[in-house]
Amino acid sequence: MYDHHTLLYFSHRLYSHELTLEENKQIYGKCINQHGHNYVLEVSVKGAVDPKTGMFINITELKSIIATEVLDILDHRTLEDLEPLKGIVTTTENVAVWIWGALHKKLGNLLFEVKIEETEKNFVIYRGE
């Protein structure tokens, strides 16, 4: 298995249009206000090692896929303004699911896990379940 770590910076607001303002405040607290984080994205891939190359994926290719499919779209952006995330409550869980989907289109079964650290103590791990 190979893990690649990348830093991401984006802002978001936790707010569901299916809830009242009071319900949103109760569920999301101060996070209903626009705020940002310095996220750490960890992408784990695994597979059979190609005997010719000694790798199951070229690391340069993996970095390029992460940049094109995730970083170029999310980094230094406001999540609610992005077309792929419109109408979705941008919890770390939902962002992890979206990142999984974006990367899985390119990596297929090589993709093992997506981990997003919102803070040192808060993170989400998603494996396509």
Question: 37 a known binding residue?
Answer: yes
In the annotation, is 118 catalytic? yes
Question: 12 a known binding residue?
Answer: yes
Chain centroid to CA 37: 13
In the annotation, is 83 catalytic? no
Question: 5 a known binding residue?
Answer: no
Please pick, among 42, 80, 113, 118, the residue that the annotation labels catalytic. 118
Please pick, among 4, 31, 42, 80, the residue that the annotation labels catalytic. 31
Please pick, among 5, 23, 61, 76, the residue that the annotation labels catalytic. 76
In the annotation, is 113 catalytic? no
DSSP readout, the chain? -EEEEEEEEEEE----TTS-HHHHHHHHGGGGS-EEEEEEEEEEE--PPPTTTS-SS-HHHHHHHHIIIIIHHHTTEEGGGSGGGTTS---HHHHHHHHHHHHHHHHGGGEEEEEEESSSS-EEEE---
Q: Which residues are annotated as a binding site for Zn(2+)?
A: 12, 35, 37
Binding-site positions read 12, 35, 37
Q: Provide the annotated active-site residues.
A: 31, 76, 118
